[in-house]
Structure 1
Amino acid sequence: MSPMEQNLDVEVEIHDPSTAVVTIQGELDVDTATLLHHHLANQALHGRRHLVLDLSAVGFMDSSGLNVLIRATRETRATGGDLHLAAPTPQVAKLFDLTGLSLTTAVHEDVEAALTALKGAGTPT
Structure 2
Amino acid sequence: MLDVVPFTVQAVDLGHRRHVLNLRGDLDMAAADQAWEQVNELLTPGALVIVDVSRLGLMDSSGLRFLLLARREAEARGATLVLLRPRPWLRERLRVGGVLELFDLHFELSSALQSAGAAATATEASAN
Same fold by TM-score, threshold 0.5 exceeded?
yes
Q: Secondary structure at the match of 1:121?
A: helix
Quote the residue 1:8 is aligned against.
Answer: 7
1:44 and 2:43 are equivalent in the alignment = yes
* TM-score, normalised with respect to structure 2: 0.81
Residues 66-123 of structure 1, C-alpha deviation per residue, up to 9 Å, x if partnerless?
A: 1011101111111111210110122111111111222111111232221121122236
* TM-score, normalised with respect to structure 1: 0.83
Contact 1:56 1:87 in 2 (8 A): yes
Percentage of pairs with the same residue: 26
Q: Secondary structure at the match of 1:68?
A: helix
Q: RCO greater where, 1 or 2, for CA within 8 Å and sep 6 or more?
A: 1
Change (3 A) 1:116 1:74: same
The runs of at least 4 aligned residues of structure 1 exceeding 6 Å deviation read none
Q: Please, what is the CA RMSD of the aligned residues?
A: 1.8
- Structure 1 gap ranges (5+): 1-5
Residues 41-83 of structure 1, C-alpha deviation per residue, up to 9 Å, x if partnerless?
A: 12236x6732110111011011100101110111111111121
- Structure 2 gap ranges (5+): 122-128
Give the number of the structure whose alpha-carbon radius of gyration is greater.
2
Quote the residue 2:33 is aligned against.
Answer: 34
